[in-house]
Chains A and B, each alone.
Chain A
Amino acid sequence: MDLNYGAEAEAFRVELADFLAGHWQPGDRRGSALKAYIASFRQEATSRGYLYRNIPKRYGGSEQPIDTVRAQVIREAFGRARAPMEVSGNGMSMLVPTLLDRGSDALKDLFIPPTMAGDYVWGQGYSEPGSGSDLASIRCRAELAGDKWVINGQKIWTSQGDRVTHMFALVRTEPQASKHAGISYLIIDLDQPGVTRRPIRQMTGDAGFYEFFFDDVTTPADWIVGARGEGWQVSRTTLKHERANIGSADALGGQFAKLVELAGQVTRFGRPAIKDPEIRQALARIEGWVLAHRCSSYRLFSLAAADEPPGLVGLMMKLLVTETGHDIAMLAQELIGDEAMLEPAPPGTRGRGVEKWLDQIMGSLGNSIAGGTTNIQRNVIAERGLGLPRELALGNDA
């Protein structure tokens, strides 16, 4: 076992630090000046092979060989310098890898460059009001009329719904085919008549998600990824690139560090809560899980770097974060005491007291639903991880 990245990686870290010191000097730029500065910085970083590493050069990427350790060192160096990395969001994380693997050359040319530039912002059009965990039951339909698809139906739980310009969606194009085989993967321009977007107010009071209604919305016949009826498989494409990332463990660790800080700030039974034996026990109990998660992320990272499969633990990371986040929420609720009766001011505003933990306390529930509910995660661990048979009622054509 060796948690050091090695001499080559450390030399690379020095190279990155030099580059960042020389090229990431945003100063007091604001607004469009900052935006332009970031764009040129990204271009420079890409030309040196630091960003857009898995994107071919013809689309503006740096087309680097897969190197998990190098990618991690880049994340760390950029993170330390607070320098921007790739444009984030569904476009880069989901659509572009799917296009690279399954898309036509025309679609790649059309969509990858503006997505990398941040000009196109992508929504995921998967869930529908009647299709959550049973996603393959979707009813939003598209019919081919001449050189266009005509789309009718509804999509829900699209994040950044007020900003998205385009959507990659699963729609039913083959109504006669079986459940999974009747689905296609289409790309839709959202700036057209017939598209209605409506915010969903969530339990926190904010509207982080939108629902979309399609009423005779059209899209070109060739804006389909994969063939007709292959949408289900296409949506499950996961490209092998530098996915392994220690950053998500740091996020849980960061949340735990804040919890410890909170325990040092509040009092319980007349003394600092962190001196209370019950709280100390609860904190250390949670830390066991936090540490198990972090060490498992080292393990997954190491496996990815060696080009070996992630195995059982790879199926567990999301559930671990959810469950540990839940434990953190419950202890935070105990620690903030009466202040839990207060509504927190919006993030970023001044004068937020310990009641701001309600954001995490409620948000932890969102985590247990988004990206596959906790119950579905357990099904996946049991079926794919432990090899238990599928339930008969679920059908086996997936």
Chain B
Amino acid sequence: MRFHQSEEQLAIQDALRGTLADALPAGRLRTLVDDPADFDRPSWDALMALGLGGLALPEEAGGSGLGLVDLAMAIEVLGDGAAAGPIVQHLLTGLAVARSRNEAAAAHLPGLAAGTTVATMAWGGDWLPESWALTLEDGKVSGSVRFVPGASAAALFLVGTAGGGLALVSGGSQVTVAPMPSADRSRRVSTVTFDRAPAAELFAPGDAGVAGLFDAALVLTAADALGGAQRCLDMSVAYAKEREQFGQPIGRFQALKHQLATMALEVEPARALLWYAAYAQDCSLPDARRAAALAKSHIADRFVSVTRAAIAAHGGIGYSWEYGLNTWFRRALFDRAYLGSPSLHRERAAELAGW
């Protein structure tokens, strides 16, 4: 029985946290959000140099062979540091290629593991696989998908095909990227149009592998949300200790203490929920699908709630652009909507329970 973090897991988190803080410090993050690019090469390269891209890929493909639990812990730290670009989408693409039986596609694994080949996801519809609508005919994909993060930088697209299949498309002249005005400046999204783009099918519609990857994407998005919520809590607690009004630190006042305790109550218990949802997938537990749905809906809601509370706890400075809290507020908008709203996944959880 073990259900807390190992030394190794903590060490991976520390390494990622330190590297991200160096590569994407607060000053750099402030300029990044005013930059229309949907990708940040220096921080991407620094994280990939640590082995992030291959963390959960098989060792023979140049990866470390770790599980979704480890990946979720890694993403949590990156959400805390507001890592830019399509990181979750890149890692998911790696998992999809590694889990598929398409051996030709496996040639991409070393590039995905090293992060030299940037990948993102274009799923579309209302996010659920049965609503995906890109057509796959004669090995060519056509159609448009909105809300694709990091599309300008991506060389590979993990696309959702009609009926709920997954295929891999390489960027090229048959792929057009139209940036959308994006609320989350650290993960800008685009509309991507595929016009008979050559594709390698990874999973046919209805393949059980699709459900597993969808659930993994839910868990990793929840991991990002947990990390972001943790960051907002930490910033608020630090500010409450240092900011003085009425001649004393505002953290001495019970009203603010209770606000901060309530935020902590949203964040800390959710951590074990996230671990469980990832663990349930690693072990194929019978409730893995429900756990992923409940983790995504619960934790995305917590992130929204904690960012709002953090800005309230800070007062005026929290509302300023300069201070930077709005970076996480905007990431919460992304994490809540991306892959489906909390209400969508709660209804799925109800359905899966047979309610």
Q: Please tell me which one of the listed residues B258, B272, B282 contacts residue A382 in the complex, with CB atoms under 8 A apart.
A: B258
Least CB distance, B105 to chain A, in whole angstroms:
30
Number of B interface residues, CB 8 Å? 46
Chain B residue numbers with a CB within 8 Å of A305 are 1
Chain B 64-76, CB-CB to A under 8 Å as 1, else 0, gives 0000010000000
Known contacts: A382-B261, A386-B261. The answer to whether A295 contacts B1 by CB under 8 A is no
- Are B1 and A283 neighbours in the complex by a CB distance under 8 Å? no
- Are B1 and A2 neighbours in the complex by a CB distance under 8 Å? yes
Q: Please tell me which one of the listed residues A3, A5, A284 contacts residue B297 in the complex, with CB atoms under 8 A apart.
A: A284
Least CB distance, B338 to chain A, in whole angstroms:
18
- Are B347 and A301 neighbours in the complex by a CB distance under 8 Å? no
- Are B260 and A323 neighbours in the complex by a CB distance under 8 Å? no
Least CB distance, B264 to chain A, in whole angstroms:
6
Q: Which of A231-277 contact B (CB under 8 A)?
A: 260, 263-264, 274-275, 277
* B294 part of interface (Cβ distance < 8 Å): yes
- Are A320 and B269 neighbours in the complex by a CB distance under 8 Å? yes
Binds B, one of A37-45, A57-65, A214-222, A389-397: A389-397
Chain A residue numbers with a CB within 8 Å of B295 are 288, 291
- Are A3 and B346 neighbours in the complex by a CB distance under 8 Å? no
In Å, the complex CA distance between A33 and B158 comes to 71
Chain B residue numbers with a CB within 8 Å of A391 are 252-254
In Å, the complex CA distance between A260 and B291 comes to 17
Task: For A9, give the chain B residue with the smallest CB separation.
Answer: B1
* A366 part of interface (Cβ distance < 8 Å): no
Chain B 34-48, CB-CB to A under 8 Å as 1, else 0, gives 000000000000000
The total number of A-B Cβ pairs within 8 Å is 159
- Are B272 and A299 neighbours in the complex by a CB distance under 8 Å? yes
* B82 part of interface (Cβ distance < 8 Å): no
Q: Which of B335-355 contact A (CB under 8 A)?
A: 342-343, 346-347, 349-350, 353, 355
Chain B 263-305, CB-CB to A under 8 Å as 1, else 0, gives 0110011111101101100100000000100110110010000
Known contacts: A295-B276, A316-B264, A386-B237. The answer to whether A3 contacts B251 by CB under 8 A is no
* A293 part of interface (Cβ distance < 8 Å): yes
* B116 part of interface (Cβ distance < 8 Å): no
Chain A residue numbers with a CB within 8 Å of B260 are 382, 386, 388
In Å, the complex CA distance between A69 and B342 comes to 36
- Are B251 and A389 neighbours in the complex by a CB distance under 8 Å? yes
Task: For B354, give the chain A residue with the smallest CB separation.
Answer: A274
Number of A interface residues, CB 8 Å? 56
Chain B residue numbers with a CB within 8 Å of A298 are 3, 272, 276
Q: Which of B210-262 contact A (CB under 8 A)?
A: 237, 240-241, 248-249, 251-254, 257-258, 260-262
Q: Please tell me which one of the listed residues A274, A292, A316, A390 contacts residue B298 in the complex, with CB atoms under 8 A apart.
A: A292
In Å, the complex CA distance between A284 and B343 comes to 9
- Are B258 and A2 neighbours in the complex by a CB distance under 8 Å? no
Binds B, one of A14-22, A329-337, A373-381: A373-381
Chain B residue numbers with a CB within 8 Å of A3 are 1, 3, 279
- Are A385 and B291 neighbours in the complex by a CB distance under 8 Å? no
Least CB distance, B268 to chain A, in whole angstroms:
5
Q: Please tell me which one of the listed residues A292, A306, A379, A385 contacts residue B254 in the complex, with CB atoms under 8 A apart.
A: A379
In Å, the complex CA distance between A275 and B254 comes to 42
- Are A288 and B69 neighbours in the complex by a CB distance under 8 Å? no
Chain A residue numbers with a CB within 8 Å of B248 are 389, 392
- Are A293 and B269 neighbours in the complex by a CB distance under 8 Å? yes
- Are A306 and B4 neighbours in the complex by a CB distance under 8 Å? yes
- Are A316 and B237 neighbours in the complex by a CB distance under 8 Å? no
Known contacts: A2-B2, A280-B346, A391-B254. The answer to whether A319 contacts B265 by CB under 8 A is yes
Known contacts: A313-B272, A391-B253. The answer to whether A284 contacts B346 by CB under 8 A is yes
Chain A residue numbers with a CB within 8 Å of B297 are 284-285, 288
In Å, the complex CA distance between A277 and B346 comes to 10
Chain B residue numbers with a CB within 8 Å of A306 are 2, 4
- Are A381 and B265 neighbours in the complex by a CB distance under 8 Å? yes
Q: Please tell me which one of the listed residues A292, A385, A387 contacts residue B269 in the complex, with CB atoms under 8 A apart.
A: A292
* A137 part of interface (Cβ distance < 8 Å): no
Task: For B353, give the chain A residue with the smallest CB separation.
Answer: A260
- Are A316 and B252 neighbours in the complex by a CB distance under 8 Å? no
- Are B355 and A388 neighbours in the complex by a CB distance under 8 Å? no
In Å, the complex CA distance between A71 and B128 comes to 44
25 pairs of residues in contact across A and B, judged by CB atoms under 8 Å: A3-B279, A6-B1, A284-B349, A285-B298, A292-B269, A295-B275, A296-B273, A299-B3, A299-B272, A301-B3, A306-B2, A313-B268, A313-B269, A313-B272, A320-B269, A323-B265, A379-B254, A381-B264, A382-B251, A382-B257, A383-B257, A385-B264, A386-B237, A387-B241, A389-B248
Interface residues of A (CB under 8 A from B): 1-6, 9, 69, 260, 263-264, 274-275, 277, 280-281, 283-285, 287-289, 291-293, 295-296, 298-299, 301-303, 305-306, 308, 312-313, 316, 319-320, 323, 375, 377-379, 381-383, 385-392
Given A284-B349, A296-B273, A382-B257, output 20 extra A-B contacts at Cβ < 8 Å: A260-B355, A280-B346, A281-B347, A281-B350, A284-B350, A288-B301, A289-B269, A293-B269, A298-B276, A299-B271, A306-B4, A312-B264, A313-B271, A313-B272, A323-B265, A375-B254, A381-B261, A383-B257, A386-B260, A388-B237
